[in-house]
Homo-oligomer: A and B are copies of this chain.
Amino acid sequence: MIINGSGAGRQPSSELVNGNKTEQSARHFHSNSNDVSALETLGPAAKLTDADPSEIPPASAPGRQNAVTINDILERRAKAGRLIAPTASYSDSDMFKGPQVGKPKSQSMDHHLSPESLSRHPCALKQAARHLKTPGLISLGGGLPCAEYFPIESITLKVPTPPHFSEAATASSGAEVRIGKYDVTDPLIQGTYDLSIALNYAQATGSAQLSRFVTEHTELVHNPPYSDWRSCLTVGSTGALEQTLRMLCDGPGRGDCLLTEEYSFSTALETANPLGVKVVGVKMDEQGLLPEAMDELLSGWDPKEREGRRKPHVLYTVPSGQNPTGATQGLERRREVYEVARKHDLFVIEDEPYYYIQMPLETGATTAAKEGEEGADGEGKEEEETVESFISSLIPSLLSMDVDGRVLRMDSFSKVVVPGSRVGWVTASEQIIERYIRHAEVCNQGPSGISQVILYKLLDEQWGHEGYFKWLMNLRGEYTKRRDTMVAAVEKFLPKEVVSWSVPVAGMFYWLKVDHTQHPGIQAGRTILEVEEEIFDSCIAKGVLVARGSWFRAEQDTEPNELFFRATFAAATAENMTEAIRRFGEAVRESFKL
């Protein structure tokens, strides 16, 4: 294997990844090194089967038939022994997966990659790290500082104990979790991850310790239907999207476009535009993206009518609680979206920050009346629901139906743990993740080690998979209460003759459609943007900040023909939220002279 920095003759194939895997198999990575564990059976060949790769799992049992359970994971870990992953050690999410029996291998997505991505070579210095496993080797190689000079001896966290998640319960029954500098080499502690490792440089994939957790979590929830899937930590989905767009799109050279919902996450639009990637909006309904509209758009694509741009080959979508519309694709909708993606050979970026904030549709005065309880202990509220039934209740992801390996899923801790960690993860096929890592090595070197060790200690060691799911279940309940407070407020305070909405079943956003055709200004010749601005300014004057719908329009170079505002129920207290909606209603009424 060539690790020379010289560019000549190197291919962006998976050769190097495989090379690494061979040298640093799971065996060397766990303490039970002589144990013929489940992990040892995981050679790439073992995952190639005769299964028909064209078969999407049936809708009736969406991928759960061979579901991996938390007990499977616990058993697997027990067999593998203590995870040994010292400073900057190489890891691969494949080391932490279960046997991928009966799954096909992903298809090649080479033709989707940009010239920029194809030209990336492995980082010479990071590659050299593979020699660190040589017994007795002394490294004068990388300029890694000595842990002796890290001025933090320990970090202690105070965190909730499942299921006592509220702030009050944490104050009384929370656990103190200590992270020492040398916990891993301390024979009394025998830790898995410590500050000497977390505070130093690491691989751009993130640490083996947190990678293991997110890989297992991904397997528990999505269990992708092809064998060679990988997860890789990111610096959050904002950064992951930028990397992924650059990996797949070449605006100036190839005239690439990006398909997305006609109203889309504004930061995504602001990411694509400077790359010279033209964003193309697909019509939506209350379940989001319309597959027929996408099919039609693609089937009728004519570069001559599109400034010479070639037919789009990448779709960016937020299937659950879409930002800004709050729309959630149901199971059938997702299957249809995936089928259109296959038909037109689209690569799909599935961005799912709100995936775990899926809520029941039914709301009502009863729930809204509970608003005073906000912040109370979540304990016991979800007692009728098990972790298994929670996982089963989630609408299956596009990743879970991706037999081809054409989906890159972005997960995030921002909405369900803390945004300030700047840690998330992506899941895709081995070849896509290999390119992603090559990019991350020069783009950010992976997420903060401090964030990683804190998340690891909380999610893996303190809570475990079971505890984390219980946290997510509790959080879903909290957001449902908040959503219901807003339902009650919009019902009470908004003028239904001009404002309409669908109740969101996931996420954090309420999308309010205002019927501009009834606006006296519009009737007198003013533009929708002018009316939108008037209402927005009036809102500020009245003391409420809402987001303007036009900020989210995928095709910013066209005139809007509808008027929307977005309101979040994530941030304000119940009382403030209600008052804010009242103010918004007042601003609308005044503008419409109602």
Contact = CB atoms under 8 A, between A and B. Distances in A.
Interface of A: 4-8, 116-117, 119-121, 123-125, 128, 131-132, 134, 136-146, 148-160, 165, 167, 170-171, 174, 181, 198-202, 235-236, 238-239, 242, 252-253, 266-267, 269-271, 273-276, 323, 374-375, 414-415, 417-423, 439, 441-451, 454, 458, 471, 475, 478, 508-509, 529, 533, 540, 543-548, 550-553, 556-557, 567-572, 576-577, 579-581, 583-584
Contact of A117 (B274, B444, B557): B274
B274 A138 contact: no
Nearest to A450: B451
Contact of A450 (B159, B375, B420, B580): B420
5 contacts: A140-B568, A143-B508, A148-B374, A152-B159, A200-B418
Given A141-B546, A143-B415, A235-B444, 7 more contacts: A117-B274, A139-B571, A145-B419, A153-B160, A242-B443, A421-B448, A448-B451
A6 B529 contact: yes
Contacts of A547: 125, 128, 141-142
Contacts of A447: 422, 448
A152 B155 CA distance: 12
A5 B552 contact: yes
A543 B134 contact: yes
Given A5-B269, A123-B267, A157-B154, A238 B443 contact: yes
A141 B5 contact: no
A266 B124 contact: yes
Nearest to A202: B420
Contact of A124 (B141, B171, B270): B270
B238 A128 contact: no
B153 A167 contact: yes
B583 A138 contact: yes
A116 B7 CA distance: 26
A271 B125 CA distance: 13
A488 to B, nearest CB: 15
B155 A157 contact: yes
Which of the listed residues A143, A159, A548 has the most CB atoms from chain B within 10 Å of its own CB?
A: A143
A442 to B, nearest CB: 4
Given A143-B508, A273-B119, A547-B141, A200 B153 contact: no
Contact of A478 (B117, B149, B569): B149
Contact of A418 (B5, B152, B238, B567): B152
Contacts of A159: 151-153
Nearest to A250: B252
Contact of A420 (B198, B439, B570): B198
Nearest to A137: B543
A125 B271 CA distance: 13
Which of the listed residues A144, A441, A577 has the most CB atoms from chain B within 10 Å of its own CB?
A: A144
Contact of A136 (B7, B123, B543, B571): B543
